Amino acid sequence: MNDLQQSLVDSLRERFGDSVEEVREFRDDVIVVVTRQAVVDVATWLRDNEHCPFPLCEDVFGIDAWTRKQRFEVNYHFFSLQCKQRIHLKVRLEESDPAVPSITGVYPGANWYERETFDMYGITFPGHPDLRRAYMPEDFEYYPLRKDFPLMGIPGSLPLPKRG
């Protein structure tokens, strides 16, 4: 961890205390696991802090860990143009309640990323202005990137026009 990363992690720990569940380093990048209640505050702080602001939300997506107790995970990638630095946030979710507060109020660009995550994993984002499916038809009932979804889909779930 370089000095900048270390100071960011220290400030996060100091500011958010127990909300920071875990800090890891992987290939020179810092991964911070936070609780879902804190995600909006952490994102706001990362965007606005004076030391090393992260104005760019590069991506948001989900993970289905399947065998882990906390089955779902939402990953956020932020990039700081000023410091040329990335930071990754993770939020772990129980299967029974896959919901994370939306960060669209902080990063408007996260809008469609969250829609995509909802479409593929069924993770909801309370506070999102327009949480519709992104790729699959509106009336589709399943979440295709979940591990228990068969690769070839559920027969009959996506109707085709009649051949005629």
Among 17, 126, 150, 156, binds other proteins (CB under 8 A): 150
Nearer to other proteins, 50 or 151 (CB): 151
What are the helix (H) ranges across 87-156?
Answer: 110-121
Is residue 156 close enough to count as binding other proteins by CB under 8 A? no
Cross-strand pairs, 91: 34, 74
Is residue 152 close enough to count as binding other proteins by CB under 8 A? yes
Question: Which tokens sit at 115?
Answer: 């829609």
User: Comparing C-alpha atoms, which of 128, 123, 55 is closest to residue 87?
Assistant: 55
Q: How far is the CB of 54 from other proteins (least distance, A)?
A: 33
User: Comparing C-alpha atoms, which of 102, 112, 41, 105 is closest to residue 74?
Assistant: 102
Nearer to other proteins, 66 or 135 (CB): 135
> Can you tell me which residue has the tokens 């939402």?
74
Nearer to other proteins, 7 or 157 (CB): 157
- For other proteins, the binding residues in 97-126 under the rule CB under 8 A are none
Q: How far is the CB of 66 from other proteins (least distance, A)?
A: 18
